[in-house]
Amino acid sequence: MYLIGIDVGGMSIKGGIVSSEGQIIYKTTVPTAEKYTADYSISEDIRKVIDALLDGAKISVKEIKGVGIGQPGSIDSKRGVIRYSNNIALENVPVVDELKKYYDLPIFINNDANCAALGEYVFGAGKGFNDIVFVTLGTGVGTGFIIDGKLFEGRECAGTEGGHMQIDISDSAQACSCGRKGCWEAYASATALMRQTKAAMNKYPDSLMHKLAEEEGKVSGKTAFEAAKKGDAAGQKVVDTYISYITSGLINLTNIFCPDAILIGGGISNEKEYLTDPIQKAINEERFGAAFNPYVEIKTASLKNDAGILGAAALAL
Amino acid sequence: MYLIGIDVGGMSIKGGIVSSEGQIIYKTTVPTAEKYTADYSISEDIRKVIDALLDGAKISVKEIKGVGIGQPGSIDSKRGVIRYSNNIALENVPVVDELKKYYDLPIFINNDANCAALGEYVFGAGKGFNDIVFVTLGTGVGTGFIIDGKLFEGRECAGTEGGHMQIDISDSAQACSCGRKGCWEAYASATALMRQTKAAMNKYPDSLMHKLAEEEGKVSGKTAFEAAKKGDAAGQKVVDTYISYITSGLINLTNIFCPDAILIGGGISNEKEYLTDPIQKAINEERFGAAFNPYVEIKTASLKNDAGILGAAALAL
C-alpha cells in the first residue's frame, strides 16, 4: 500500500506517491493558479496532481491507503476545510469534501508546519522521540508540536502558531505580518535574518558580507553565516544576535512543553551544527529548572526538500 | 465519599475534607517548618494535616476516596516526587511513597498552579470548558493548561512554566528569579505591578497613589488600580501598561493553545472586569487569525482562597 502526499505552496502544488516507510517513488508538480474562485477551486488543481501521480506511477486507487494534504494557513483539519490562507488567497474551502466526490479514499488536510512536524516524527529526525517541538525558519516561523506521540493542533485546530509569540514588547519592536508587534517570526525567520544582515552591512561598509552578497548576487540567509565562518566580526555579530532570537522562542516553548527534542527545519537549518550547537548550549543552561529538569535535544530536521510531501503523506498513515 | 486536598505554602500547609461536589466540610492548618531535612521530611507535616482532618471531621479513612497535594515547584507527578522547590527548600522528596506507608489510599501530588487549573476546571469558573489556559497573578506568574479535558503537564511533568516565557529581549529587560531576563513573570506578577507602581510614584509625586499607599500603610497590588478608578492619570498609566504585559503573554498562549477560556486567578484577579474587560478586547482583536479563529473567553477564576485545597482535592477525583 502507498500514500499520497500533496504539498501546496504559493508557486506550485507538489505531489508524491510514498511508501509506508517514507520512500517517495514518484513525484509530480502542477503550478498554483494565480487566483482560485468559487468556480475554480484549489481542489481542481490538487485533483490534477493526484491523477498525474496515479497515471505516472501506474498505480491504481486500490493500492492507495490515503491522501494527505499540507497547506499553509489556518486549517480546520477535523472538517477538512481551509479556513483561511493569505499567501494563496483562500477562505472557507471544503477541500476534503470536494475531493471525496472523486476518490473513495481517506483524505486529510492540515497546516503545512503541522505536517512537517508529523513527517519528521514519522519518517525523519524525530523518529524515536515522543514529544517534539518542530520549528521551521523560512519566510516566516512555523511551529508544530507532537505531544505524547500525537500531533497537537490546539482547540478546533486553531493553535500552534508559535511564530506569533511576542518576544519584544518594547516600543521599537519589529512589526509582524499578523498585525502584532514583536512576534518571534519578525526576529527569527529567514526574512528577518536578511533584514538584520542588510542593516549590519549598512553599518559596517568594510564587512566581508558586502563581497559575499555581491558574489551571490543578493543578500541571502547565508550571507552573514558565510562571513562569520570566514572570521568577519560584523557577520559573527549578526549570527550571534540572530541565534539569540531563535533561542528566545525555543526556550519559551521548552518551558511550556518540555519536549524530548526540538527539530529545526527550513532553509536556515542548512547551517546545521553551526546553528544547533549554540542553541543546545543555551537550552541546556537557560531553560527553566535546567539543573533538575530532563534534557532537551536540539537536532536539524532531516526531510529537507521532501519534507512537504512526506509530512502530508504522514497524515494518511 | 470524600476527598482530601492539601495546599502546601511557604507559611502554612492547609488541608480540607472536600465533598465530590467541591464543598469543603472541614479545614485545618499546620505551620510550614523553617527547614526540612532527611530526618524531618515535609511528609511528616502533611501527615499531621491529614490526621488532624480525619480526627476533626470525625471521618474514617474508609470514607476517603483519595488525597491530593498541591505543592509549589517542579513536581514529578507520575513518580509522586518533589523534584525541586526553592520557596520551601526541597529536593527529590518522594512524598507519595513516604505517605503511602501510613495510608492505604490513592495519593497524588502536583504543582500548585496545575492544581489550581484543575480545580477551576472541575469545581470553578472552568466548568463546561474543555481547553483552558489558567494563569495566576501573584508573587510570580503560574500557568496551568487543560487540553481536551485533561491536565497537561509537559513531558515528565516538567513543562507548563508559562510565566518563564520571555516577552522582552531588549537590553533593558527586567531580570527574572529564574536567571533569565525579560520573563513574563517579571512584568505581569503582583510583585512586578508593585515595582511598576513604586516607579510611577517616584516619577509622579502628585499622584493619588501616594495618598492611597499611605492610607493602606504600603504600596500594594491595589494601589494603582484604586488610583485609576478615582481618575488619577498616573495610576491609569500604570494599570494600562500592566494590563498590556498580562495581555502579551496571554495572546502568546492563545496563539499556541487556542483555549475555550482563559481563567485569571491570584490576588490581582480581584480587580475582576476591570482586568478582564480590556484583556478580552485585546484577545478579540490581536490574537492570530482573530477574524476567523474561534472565540476565546476571558474569565476571573472563582475558587479564591480555597483554590489551593479544592485544586489539590481535584487531583484525587
> Using 50, 70 and 90 to split pLDDT, how confident is the model at B86?
confident
- Which residues in A lie closer than 8 A to residue B155 (C-beta atoms)? 130-131, 257-260, 294
Predicted confidence band of residue B87 (pLDDT cuts 50, 70, 90): confident
Question: Would A2-122+306-315 and A128-301 be classified into the same CATH topology?
Answer: yes
Average pLDDT over residues A200-224: 98
Q: Is the pLDDT of residue A88 over 90?
A: no
- What's the angle, vertex CA A225, arms to CA A223 and CA A226, rounded to 5? 65
* pLDDT at res. A162: 97
> What pLDDT is recorded for position B17?
98
CA distance A311 to A313: 5
Tell me the average pLDDT across A221-230: 98
How far is the alpha carbon of B54 from chain A, nearest alpha carbon, in Å?
Answer: 35
Residue with cell 491522501: A67
pLDDT at A198 over 80: yes
CB B290 within 8 A of CB B8: no
- Facing residue for B259 by CB, picked from A130, A155, A180: A155
Work out the number of other CB atoms within 10 angstroms of the CB of residue A54. Answer: 20
| Shortest alpha-carbon distance between residue A7 and chain B (Å) | 22
Task: Please enumerate in sequence order all residues whose Cβ is within 8 A of that of B222, keeping only pairs 6 or more positions apart, or say none.
Answer: B212, B216, B270
CB contact under 8 A, B165 and A168: no
Test B260 with A155 for CB contact under 8 angstroms: yes
pLDDT band at A100 (very low <50, low <70, confident <90, very high): very high
Instruction: From chain B, pick out residues whose CB is under 8 angstroms from the CB of A129.
Output: none
Three-state secondary structure string covering chain B: CEEEEEEECCCEEEEEEEECCCCEEEEEEEECCCCCCCCCCHHHHHHHHHHHHHHHHCCCHHHEEEEEEEECCEEECCCCEEEEECCCCEEEECHHHHHHCCCCCCEEEEEHHHHHHHHHHHHCCCCCCCCEEEEEECCCEEEEEEECCEEECCHHHCCCCHHHCECECCCCCCECCCCCECECHHHHCHHHHHHHHHHHHHHCCCCHHHHHHHHHCCCCCCHHHHHHHCCCHHHHHHHHHHHHHHHHHHHHHHHHHCCCEEEEECHHHHHCHHHHHHHHHHHHHHCCCCCCCCCCEEEECCCHHHHHHHHHHHHCC
Q: Which residues of B touch A170 (CB under 8 A)?
A: 168, 170, 172
Q: Do A292 and B244 touch (CB under 8 A)?
A: no
pLDDT tier at A305 (50, 70, 90 boundaries)? confident
So what's the pLDDT on residue A61?
Answer: 96
- What is the least distance, in Å, from the CA of B165 to any CA of chain A? 5
Angle of helix A273-286 versus helix A233-257 axis, rounded to 10: 50
Residues A113-124: tens digit of each pLDDT? 999 999 999 999
Is there a contact between B158 and A291 if contact means CB atoms under 8 Å apart? Answer: no
The pairing of strands B64-71 and B2-8 is parallel
- Residue B175 touches partner A, C-beta closer than 8 Å: no
pLDDT band at A27 (very low <50, low <70, confident <90, very high): very high
Nearest to A286 among B180, B251, B253 (CB): B180
Residue A257: pLDDT band with limits 50, 70, 90: very high
Question: Mean pLDDT across the stretch B64-71?
Answer: 98
Average pLDDT (A141-146) is 97
With cut-offs at 50, 70 and 90, classify the pLDDT of residue B305. Answer: confident
Q: Which of B143, B158, B288 sits opposite A258 (nearest CB)?
A: B158
- CA geometry: angle B12, B13, B19, nearest 5 deg: 135
CATH architecture of A128-301: 2-Layer Sandwich (3.30)
> What ranges do the domains of chain B cover?
2-122+306-315, 128-301
- A30-43 mean pLDDT: 95
Q: CB distance from B104 to chain A under 8 Å?
A: no
The pLDDT tens digits of the residues spanning A281-292 come to 999 999 999 999
pLDDT (average), residues B63-92: 93
Contact with chain A for residue B169, Cβ under 8 A: yes
A229 near B CB under 8 A: no
Distances, alpha carbon B159 to alpha carbons A196, A222, B96, B111, in Å: 32, 34, 20, 10
Task: Taking residues A187-198, report their average pLDDT.
Answer: 98
A2-122+306-315 in CATH: which number? 3.30.420.40
**What pLDDT, in 10s, does the model give residues B188-244?**
999 999 999 999 999 999 999 999 999 999 999 999 999 999 999 999 999 999 999
pLDDT tens figures, A3-24: 999 999 999 999 999 999 999 9
Angle in degrees, CA B19, B68, B314, rounded to 5: 50
Contact A74 B289 (CB under 8 A): yes
CB B87 within 8 A of CB B70: no
- Which of A132, A245, A255 is the best substitution to test chain B (most B C-beta atoms within 10 A)? A255
pLDDT over 90 (residue A230): yes
Answer yes or no: are the C-beta atoms of B162 and B141 closer than 8 Å: yes
A67's enclosing H/E stretch is strand A64-71
pLDDT of amino acid A208 = 98
- B74 vs A84, A159, A292: nearest CB: A292
Hey, which residues 53-92 in chain B have their CB within 8 Å of chain A?
A: 74, 83-84, 91
Cα distance from B293 to chain A (closest Cα, Å)? 6
Task: Tell whether B177 lies on the interface with A, counting CB pairs under 8 A.
Answer: no
Categorize the per-residue pLDDT at A46 as very low, low, confident or very high, splitting at 50, 70 and 90.
Answer: very high
B179 vs A: CB within 8 A: yes
User: Is A130 an 8 Å CB contact of chain B?
Assistant: yes
- Is pTM beyond 0.80 here? yes
Nearest-angstrom CA–CA distance, A223 and A209: 6
Cβ atoms < 10 Å from Cβ of B2: 22
Q: Does A131 touch chain B (CB under 8 A)?
A: yes
**What percent of chain B shows pLDDT beyond 90?**
95
- Say if the Cβ atoms of B84 and A292 lie within 8 Å: yes
pLDDT exceeds 90 at position B42: yes
Average pLDDT value for chain A: 96
Does residue A87 register a pLDDT over 80? no
Residue A283: predicted pLDDT:
98
Amino acid found at B258: C
pLDDT of residue A104: 97
Nearest Cβ partner of B256 from A154, A170, A245?
A: A154
Q: Smallest Cβ distance to A167: which of B169, B178, B291?
A: B169
